[in-house]
Amino acid sequence: MVGTERTLLRLHIEAVWGVRLPVLVRNDVELLQESVRPTWKLCAADIADGRIHIWQPDVSAVEGKLLRQRVDDALAFPPVVAPLAGVRREFALTLVATPRLDVDMAHTIARPLTSQDQSLIEAFHPDAFGDYLHPERQPLIGVVISGRLLSVAHSSRRTHEACELGIDTIPEARRKGYALAATIVWAHTVLRAGLIPIYSALAENTASLCLAAAAGYRPFARVATFEG
């Protein structure tokens, strides 16, 4: 595993929410004062060496006690038995296993997309060309078959340390290995840039979790956020 689970958790939360965190040495920490304020009051995560609570600075002692009482139920997955009001549950995963598809083979299926692919990208997702080609979305990897863009892997979130995967595939091209190839090439490109590839999926998104497993990702944390 690249880095410790606490480091990976910090990278994941900072990328997803655009916040700033201290080093997660303690199990209860607050967002840094200069951080943006997310919509949640508490982000709780179970990792191998314990449970981490990350708080907004303005949570009162009374509100904090009430939120703590909900954490056990929120992190009791899988399976997701029922949704919880105001709670988002997800797995955070890191690349630790050999992908089901060889990296060299994946590169024969998926390739980097550039400004030269504007027409393909616009046909795939109208009006998304500028967004996909934005530096924050790099690397941008696509699967093009018979002149048609079928699947796109990109950085949905990016920091100076890590990139978190975003993957889009047209419905008729799913379950054919295209998303897997794009995901593998995306991760390989991220690693070559000296960054850490991170994958996350909502706890109920079994399709995304299956893709992650095939691409060599394994969960390192269960995460729940509680809306304010």
For position 80, what pLDDT does the model report? 86
pLDDT, residue 1, reads 43
Strand partners, 91: 201, 222
- Say whether pLDDT at 121 is over 50: yes
Instruction: State pTM to two decimals.
Output: 0.91
Angle between helices 178-192 and 206-214 (to 10 degrees): 60
Cβ(144)–Cβ(108) below 8 Å: no
Task: Quick: pLDDT tens for 76-113.
Answer: 999 888 889 999 999 999 999 999 999 999 999 999 99
* pLDDT number for residue 3: 55
All structural domains of the chain, each given as residue ranges with its CATH number in brackets, are: 5-92 (no CATH), 103-216 (3.40.630.30)
